[in-house]
Amino acid sequence: MKKVVVFYPYNTGKMPFSGGVAKVAVSNIIACHLNGYKPYLILPAGNSGLIQFVKSNYPYCEVKPVPFNALALFSQTKNKWKRLKLFLNNTIQHISGKQELKKILEEIQPDVIHYHETVCYDLLKLYTKCKVVIHIHAYEFVKNRIVRKAVLHSINKYADTVIAPTNSIQESRSKDIFKPIVKVRTPYLNLSNTEKALDKKLHDLLLEQKKSHIIFGYVGRICRIKRIDNFLQALVLLPDEKKSLVKYVIIGGCNTIGDEDYKKELEHFINKNDLGRNVDFVGYVDPIEAILPFIDYGAMLTKSEAMPMVGIEYLRFNIPTLGYDVPGINDYVIDGVDGFLVKDGDVNDLANGICRALDTPPGSFRDNIENIFKDYSVEKFAEALKEVYFN
């Protein structure tokens, strides 16, 4: 039996799915099983939530936690001394953890190692006696010139194949990466069988709000790059009769100190502009499927995305998306077909987009969305990976 290591680099603690990459990693495990391979999940030991989830739901996967942290610059932490301390501690743990990781890879002797995200770049050389695959999940590439050079050098020297989930990523990275870049669509991961219901108080609140509001949902980590503040700024620009119809539900939480600082800024803006009746922070919801039926429009305002996992989840529940016309979002949103696109970073146009959404019944997109969603199954993902791994 072929052995495939799925390497997930992030540490999200008790929350297994605070980011979309974890869901792709789990889909990767399922795809390996569908193809008859033996999957191994290697990940930082601090991922108690994801470790327990995989062990409970996919017993055919061998989980190998490592006392390891992925490299990080902590660029969103404003205090420079705090940032320096975090950076140094993280780097020390990263270096010490690499030796343990190398030992585990030597013990497994995999046929394929599937690394998720470019933050794994300095790990590619640890074990090269197999097919080395690196999966790029973000359109935005490394900005630091020195680190960027190191990332590209490592990928071009040690990776055999690069996976990109969208045309945008495939095209942008082909200028720097000289190894084959294969487009593989990110699949929808169905977590609704976990039998967790939505908190009754939140369920009743949303049910009541749907009677008189159009609910716009943000799903994901509360962080600056997601530009949640842009939606709040657009709300301020709406005439009162339109604003009174909008409920903006922020589903997710903070992963870092920088995220917590950003959330405080959002709360200050909400209070200053009297938006308390329009905005609700509801925290993490697991599984996300429990709350998605209450969402009328998804709001996606990131500078750029890969194929955003939440975008696929919106498609699964026939939810149109209001988003910026940027890579990743415009890879699956066609204006007027499965949602609305507005000019990148243009808050005035975003306000106009909210008005368009308020005037368009969300259900009018259903047929188009159902047709688009067919291409995002785990089965199709498994077929694509079979070609990537052993062709």
Alpha helices in the chain (DSSP H): 20-34, 48-57, 80-108, 145-158, 167-173, 200-209, 228-237, 240-243, 257-272, 309-316, 347-358, 366-373, 378-390
Is the domain of 246 the same as that of 112?
no
**What is the pLDDT, as a whole number, of residue 271?**
97
Do 335 and 349 lie in one domain? The reply is yes
Same domain, 8 and 126: yes
Pair (141, 226) in one structural domain: no
- Both 166 and 278 in one domain: the answer is no
CATH number at residue 124: 3.40.50.2000
Give the integer Cα–Cα distance in Å for 122 and 310.
29
Number of domains within the chain: 2
Integer angstrom CA distances of residue 2 from 5, 112, 184, 265: 10, 8, 21, 50
Boundaries of domain holding 170: 3-187+376-390
Q: Assess whether 360 and 382 both reside in one domain.
A: no
* CA distances for 361 relative to 102, 213, 214, 215, 281, angstroms: 54, 12, 9, 12, 25
Question: What is the predicted pLDDT for the residue at 41?
Answer: 98
Q: In 179-189, which positions are buried (b, 16+ CB within 10 angstroms) versus exposed (e)? A: bebbebbbbbb
What per-residue confidence (pLDDT) applies to 109? 98
What integer pLDDT is reported at residue 78 of this predicted model? 60
Is 225 in the same domain as 148?
no
Together in a domain, 205 and 147: no
176 with 128, same domain: the answer is yes
Q: Average pLDDT per run of 10 along the chain, which is 391 residues long?
A: 96 82 95 98 94 96 90 60 62 76 96 96 95 92 86 97 94 94 93 69 88 95 95 97 97 91 97 96 88 96 84 94 94 95 97 97 95 92 96 82
Q: Which amino acid is at 11?
A: N
- Confidence at residue 17, expressed as pLDDT on a 0 to 100 scale: 82
Q: Within this chain, do residues 383 and 366 fall inside the same structural domain, yes or no? A: no
State the Cα–Cα distance between residues 152 and 142, nearest whole angstrom: 10
